Chain A
Amino acid sequence: MEVNLFAKKIKKIRERQRIKKLALRILLVSMLILALLMIFLSALALRIASSNKNSEQKISLTKSKITQFQDVESKQVYLVSKLGSFANLLKLQERHQAVAEAIFNMIPDGTSLQGFEVNEKGTIDLVGNVPDWSKLFELFKRIREQTTVQLKVAQAKVNRISFGKTGEINFDINIVLSGTNQ
């Protein structure tokens, strides 16, 4: 019968050696992985740097091409900068023209106007004179019936009617045209 008195000790030593070997392996594998990773990252960095340099060249080339179109660009910028105001002015002008045309359509021949202000709100103070009653009635009739494609008389108020020295009839009429704010 054989009795091994160092069995426990041997087992312990073997265990230690196994751990050491394992640790060494882990260390070696880690080093290898880190080295590979380092190589990979460096290669990636180099590749990106080269791509960046390439992009930089393309950017500078594109910029120089754009500079050649500076004349066209400045004209385009000029047009765009004025477009907004111009469009608003055209709209305003259309409304003004419609109001002015509506007023001229209302006035019968022989009428003398001291003046009227044309505004986009469509409120007009018509001051003037007509030679006789028939012209005044014709003016009233035209005001009542005034309808154009864009405008119609929403409200008309006679403020004053008086006789002048030479027999003419003076009038002062407030007119509100609707459809001017569309």
Chain B
Amino acid sequence: MKNKKLAMMIGATLVLGIIVFGPTLSNLQKRIRVSKQQGIELNNLEKKLQILEGIDKNLTTDRVKKMEAVFPSDKPIIQLLSSLTQLAAKHDLTFGGVSLSPGSLTDEKKEDSLADLTFGFEVSGELKSILKFLQELERVAPLMKIDKVGLTITTKPLSGDNNTMIAAKINVSAFYQPAPKSLGSIGQPVKLLSRSEEAILSQLFNFTQFEAVLPVAQTGKTNLFDFGQ
């Protein structure tokens, strides 16, 4: 009888406790959850800020410029032709017979997917120069690889020397990859580059970059009698 009453009292106290403390405890739990989430978010953001502060701004800018020249985001048609003509000129080779298949000029590729541009051309000159040209070709920006090579010996007319003249038909592929279009959410972590990745990026600076030379065409009305006086 005594125990029964005692149990009833404890039970009543517990019920009262649950009724009074239920909402308070639930509210507290919610705040603790928010606090944990905020803690994690703040930690991630601070880490990200620390990483961003540690990145060398000038080096990154140089790398981006070089990457855009070596492995561009758009079809590198002009840069490619410019580099090839200048490389051929560097080795005293005649350059011509370009067959280019640039494909579509609109962006039909998926974002961030690797794409290539195939084309063929002919260079002619001394064998030694052609070999040097081929060796240097894969170290010239924009990035390209030799797919097919055809060599033909041609005689040098009206020439007294014994240098072997070669005409080389070369097919190459150049690569490009569109740049990402968005940064993502602010909480998204920034990837730091590992040592091996840094080493790969440093190879960017081994590529020779020629200035893109665009043909200058007169447009509109011009004064034919203007001699720069």
Q: Do A and B bind each other?
A: yes
**Distance from A147 Cβ to chain B, minimum over Cβ atoms (Å):** 19
- Closest chain B residue, CB of each to CB of A80: B191
Query: Is A93 a contact partner of B183 (Cβ separation < 8 A)?
Result: no
A55 at the interface (CB under 8 A from B): yes
17 A-B residue pairs with Cβ-Cβ distance under 8 Å, sorted by A, are A23-B5, A26-B10, A34-B21, A38-B21, A52-B34, A55-B35, A66-B186, A67-B186, A72-B52, A72-B57, A74-B183, A76-B55, A82-B177, A83-B193, A87-B197, A107-B151, A118-B147
C-alpha spacing A93/B20, complex, angstroms? 74
Q: Is the CB of B28 within 8 A of A44?
A: yes
The majority secondary structure among interface residues of chain B is helix
Distance A110 CA – B24 CA, assembled complex (angstroms): 94
B179, A26: Cβ atoms closer than 8 Å: no
User: Are B179 and A52 closer than 8 Å at their CB atoms?
Assistant: no
Interface residues of A in 41-95 (CB under 8 A from B): 41-42, 44-45, 48-49, 51-52, 55-56, 58-59, 62-63, 65-67, 69-83, 85-87, 89-90, 92-93
A41 touching B28 by the CB < 8 A rule?
A: yes
Chain A contact residues: helix, strand, loop or mixed = helix
Residue among A44, A81, A113 making CB contact with B149, cutoff 8 Å: A113
- Residues of chain B within 8 A (CB-CB) of A96 are 138, 145-146
Per-residue contact bits, chain B 142-173, to A (CB 8 Å; 1 contact, 0 not):
01011111111100000000001000010000
Contact (Cβ within 8 A) B27 A45: yes
A21 to B2, CA, bound (A): 12
Are B52 and A69 touching (Cβ within 8 A)?
yes
Contact B9–A26 (Cβ < 8 Å)? yes
- Min CB distance A62 to B, Å, is 4
Interface membership of B17, Cβ < 8 A: yes
A27, A66, A72: the one within 8 Å of B45 (CB):
A66
Within 8 A of A (CB), among B56-89: 57, 60-61, 63-64, 67, 70-71
Q: Can you name the residue of chain B whose Cβ is closest to the Cβ of A85?
A: B114
Cα A56 to Cα B17 with chains together (Å): 33
**A90-124 interface (Cβ within 8 A of B):** 90, 92-93, 96-97, 100-101, 103-104, 107, 109-119
- Cross-chain contact of A69 among B31, B41, B49, B138 (Cβ < 8 A): B49
User: Are A75 and B64 interface neighbours, CB within 8 A?
Assistant: yes
User: Which of B97-105, B127-135, B218-226 touches A?
Assistant: B127-135
Query: What is the total number of residues of chain B having a CB less than 8 Å from a CB of chain A?
Result: 71
Least CB separation from A68: chain B residue: B52
Q: Which residues of A contact B177 (CB under 8 A)?
A: 81-82, 85
Please state if B52 and A83 are interface contacts (CB–CB under 8 Å): no
Q: Which residue of B lies closest to A74 (CB)?
A: B183
Give every chain B residue within 8 A of A104 (Cβ-Cβ).
131, 134
Report whether B49 and A90 are in contact in the complex, using a CB–CB cutoff of 8 Å: no
Query: Which residue of B is nearest A26, CB measured?
Result: B9
